[in-house]
Amino acid sequence: DTGVSQDPRHKITKRGQNVTFRCDPISEHNRLYWYRQTLGQGPEFLTYFQNEAQLEKSRLLSDRFSAERPKGSFSTLEIQRTEQGDSAMYLCASSPLLGDSANYGYTFGSGTRLTVV
């Protein structure tokens, strides 16, 4: 297992276009998180899954954002009708079961950098 993988690493898109990112977590990790990071800021929580269930969504996740984890393995994050304010690094992280997460920490992917022009 090579850790958390994210694809693509970089995405440049025109305003108004839709984009989709993929995250492959560590295979035995049940929990998967999406974060957004803008320049000079820490990661901001967007949403998380436990297996295939999306258990919590941040207020940052507007109606244009949707995330799925259909089989409890990989996840996708889609942004519809992109805006320039969506430009950021989108990070995915995974962790083991509830209760172990606090002790184990979280494994992050390298992120997808989105630039909306």
Partner 1 sequence: GDSVTQMEGPVTLSEEAFLTINCTYTATGYPSLFWYVQYPGEGLQLLLKATKADDKGSNKGFEATYRKETTSFHLEKGSVQVSDSAVYFCALSRAGGSYIPTFGRGTSLIVHP
The contact set with partner 1 (CB under 8 A) reads 4, 6, 31, 33, 40-45, 48, 55-56, 91, 93, 95, 98-99, 101-103, 105-111
Cis peptide before 8 (omega within 30 of 0): yes
Please check whether residue 21 is in contact with residue 8, taking contact to mean a CB–CB distance below 8 angstroms. yes
Please check whether residue 86 is in contact with residue 34, taking contact to mean a CB–CB distance below 8 angstroms. no
CB of 15 to partner 1, least distance (A): 24
Q: How far apart are CA 54 and CA 79, in angstroms?
A: 17
Q: How far apart are CA 52 and CA 71, in angstroms?
A: 6
